[in-house]
Each structure stands twice: as structure tokens, then as C-alpha cells.
């Protein structure tokens, strides 16, 4: 079996870790497996899979593609693919390829470690804003020891947009530290301690009620440009916006205008329409926007590989893996 790997960030350390984890997992003799007689599995168990760059000559023969941000056409050029696995929770970086083969199953990661990391990032940036971190850091730089009024955060309404595997963990943890949490999702959810909403009326209600707005939505045609001037205008004045979803869900000029007019107090952003964020981008010059380079929840190969191994095993056994992309839904 050949595993083809492609990560547009080019991080060699992470690549080496994936290679080690997958080769070790599949090289381990597993005598409990009933179907060792199958030639592909037998080869696997003896030697471990080949782990190659998907965009190399050897990659053309890959059975499994493990990818983040593959260039358009690369997946289609690998004619033997039996499974495409996203190296992230999102699959938009795969879906945007116009030549994506439509017969090969695509699966995404759903790793509790990422929900944990992303929820901590949301809590960190939200509390930093609400507890005046930027202002106190500025004061400290000038050795100014001066108290500012403390914002009352108990029962402060905050909205989490997207209540999937990550969004619901964020919502639950925000509720646990005393926020009044509203949640919005495309389909109606029911979660203890969260006021769940869906549909256009629920969307309006969340926009109009919450003082902080946290986007964790998957990127689809329906969620593109959702956070725009019209949405910001409905939020209570001086609301805070947090984007841990995707850059394309935000109309960047509209956010800048909303902050500069005082309608929004600021924003913390981990994702951008163009990544890396270009040097000349106006966001760099706006101190009320905190910029994170897509690190709120980096994929952890140690935990995520369990799911990747299970998905490969499922395909080798002729089964469909878990967390398959639903192409009509878009995630």
C-alpha cells in the first residue's frame, strides 16, 4: 500500500511524525486480524506501507491520500486512490478542487484533541478581550499601575455559530465558566445549558442578543460571507467577533469598517481569506484585531493518527470509514 502525503504548509517535522506513526502502525503484525490472507494486508503487515510525497512520481500510484490544501488536479492525477483523508477537521481545502474525483471517498478528522485546543483558544482570546488584556499590557509597557472598570462577565450572552464536534465543546465550556451561551447551527440541535437556535430567525436572534460572536462553522456555499456588514450592524454595539471557522465566512472589509466605526469592539482571528495573511493586509494595522496564524487547533498526529489508521483499515476491509464527507452538505 502506498500512502501519499501532501501538506501545503510544508512542515517537515509534522510530516516525519505522520510517516513514523503510520508506518509503525501498519508494520506491526496483527495476528488477530481475520483477513490477513488478503494480499494487500499481508504486504502491509510485513513491510509497512510506503509513505511518499503525493506530488511526486511515486505519489501517482498512491492508494491513500493524506492531504492539507492539495493543489487543484493533484488528487485527480492519482488514479489508484481508494481514500482521501483530510489532515484537518475542515474539508473545504479539498472541496475547492474542481477536479476532485467524485468516486473516491473523502473523510475528515474529528479529533477530541482539536475540540479541546480550539475551545481553549476561544476562551483565551475572549477573556483576554473582556478582561482588558490589551489595555493592561499597554499600561504595563509604560509602568502604569492603574485600575480600569471591570466588565461584568457573569451571564454575559455569547453566541457560538456551528455546533458540530468542536462548536458544542466550546459552547459547553463557555457555559461552564459562567457565560449565557446561545448556539446556532444549520439544523436544530439540543444541548444541555445551551440555548440552541437554527434557521434565519435563530440567526437574527443570536446576532441581536450576544455580546461576543464565535464562528466555528464549516465553510460551505451557505456559510460563505455570512459575517458581513449586515450581520455586524445587527449585533449589540461594541460586540466582539472571534473567527475559528474559515476566512471566507468573513467579509474582511466589512469587519474592518465595523471596528473602525465603533460598532464592534474588536476581533480575534485565526483564519483568513488568504493564508498566510499578506504583509500589506489592512488587518495588521488595526490594533483591535488580534491575528493568529491558523494555530488555534493544530492537528496533533499523535491523537489524529488513531482515526486515520482506523479509516485506512476500514477501506482495506472493504468498509466505509467514519466521518465521511457528505458532498451535498459540503462538509
The site for ligand GLV (CB under 6 A) is made up of 88-90, 299
CB of residue 89 vs ligand GLV: minimum separation in angstroms? 4
With cell 458532498, the residue in question is 327
Residue 173 annotated in active site: no
Active-site residue, selected from the candidate residues 129, 168, 246, 248? 246
Give the residue with the Cβ less far from ligand GLV, 48 or 90.
Answer: 90
Q: Minimal CA–CA distance to 163: which of 109, 215, 113?
A: 215
CB of residue 104 vs ligand GLV: minimum separation in angstroms? 19
Give the residue with the Cβ less far from ligand GLV, 48 or 247.
Answer: 247
How far are the Cα atoms of 129, 211, 260, 262 from residue 267, in angstroms, in the given order? Answer: 9, 12, 12, 12
Give the residue with the Cβ less far from ligand GLV, 89 or 290.
Answer: 89
Q: How far apart are CA 288 and CA 164, in angstroms?
A: 29
CB of residue 48 vs ligand GLV: minimum separation in angstroms? 26
The residue at minimum Cβ distance from ligand GLV is 88
CB of residue 292 vs ligand GLV: minimum separation in angstroms? 11
Residue 129 annotated in active site: no
8 Å CB contact between 270 and 121: yes
DSSP letters spanning 226-241:
-BSHHHHHHSPTTEEE
Give the residue with the Cβ less far from ligand GLV, 69 or 133.
Answer: 69
Active-site residue, selected from the candidate residues 294, 306, 327, 329? 294
Q: How far apart are CA 172 and CA 183, in angstroms?
A: 10
Half-sphere exposure of 83 (CA within 13 A, CB side): 27
How far are the Cα atoms of 224, 226, 246, 290, 292 from residue 133, in angstroms, in the given order? Answer: 31, 28, 25, 11, 16
Active site residues: 246, 294
Amino acid at each position: 500500500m502506498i500512502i501519499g502525503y501532501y501538506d501545503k504548509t510544508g512542515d517537515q517535522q509534522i510530516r516525519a511524525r505522520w510517516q513514523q506513526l503510520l508506518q509503525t502502525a501498519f508494520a506491526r503484525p496483527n495476528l488477530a486480524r481475520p483477513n490477513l490472507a488478503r494480499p494487500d494486508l499481508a504486504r502491509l503487515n510485513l513491510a509497512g506501507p510506503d509513505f511518499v510525497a503525493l506530488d511526486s512520481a511515486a505519489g501517482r500510484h498512491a492508494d491513500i491520500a493524506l492531504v492539507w490544501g492539495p493543489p487543484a488536479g493533484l488528487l485527480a492525477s492519482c488514479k489508484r486512490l481508494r481514500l482521501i483523508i483530510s489532515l484537518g477537521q475542515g474539508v473545504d481545502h479539498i472541496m475547492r478542487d474542481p477536479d476532485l474525483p467524485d468516486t473516491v471517498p473523502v473523510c475528515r478528522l474529528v479529533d477530541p484533541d482539536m475540540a479541546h485546543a480550539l475551545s481553549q483558544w476561544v476562551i483565551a482570546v475572549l477573556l483576554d478581550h473582556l478582561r482588558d488584556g490589551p489595555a493592561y499590557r499597554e499600561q504595563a509597557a509604560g509602568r502604569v499601575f492603574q485600575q480600569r472598570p471591570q466588565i461584568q462577565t457573569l451571564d454575559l450572552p455569547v453566541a457560538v455559530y456551528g455546533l458540530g464536534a468542536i462548536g458544542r465543546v466550546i459552547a459547553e465550556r463557555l457555559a461552564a465558566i459562567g457565560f449565557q451561551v446561545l448556539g446556532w447551527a444549520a439544523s436544530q440541535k439540543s444541548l444541555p445549558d445551551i440555548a440552541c437556535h437554527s434557521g434565519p430567525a435563530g440567526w437574527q436572534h443570536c446576532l441581536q442578543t450576544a455580546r461576543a460572536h464565535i464562528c466555528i462553522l464549516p465553510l460551505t456555499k451557505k456559510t460563505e460571507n455570512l459575517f458581513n456588514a449586515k450581520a455586524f450592524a445587527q449585533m449589540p454595539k461594541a460586540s466582539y467577533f472571534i473567527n475559528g471557522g474559515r476566512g471566507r465566512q468573513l467579509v474582511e472589509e466589512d469587519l474592518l469598517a465595523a471596528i473602525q466605526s465603533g460598532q464592534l469592539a474588536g476581533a480575534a482571528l485565526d483564519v483568513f481569506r488568504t493564508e498566510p495573511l499578506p504583509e500589506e493586509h489592512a488587518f495588521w494595522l488595526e490594533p483591535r484585531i488580534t491575528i493568529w496564524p491558523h494555530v488555534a487547533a493544530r492537528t496533533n498526529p499523535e491523537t489524529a493518527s488513531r482515526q486515520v489508521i482506523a479509516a485506512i483499515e476500514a477501506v482495506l476491509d472493504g468498509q466505509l470509514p467514519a466521518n465521511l464527507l457528505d458532498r451535498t452538505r459540503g462538509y
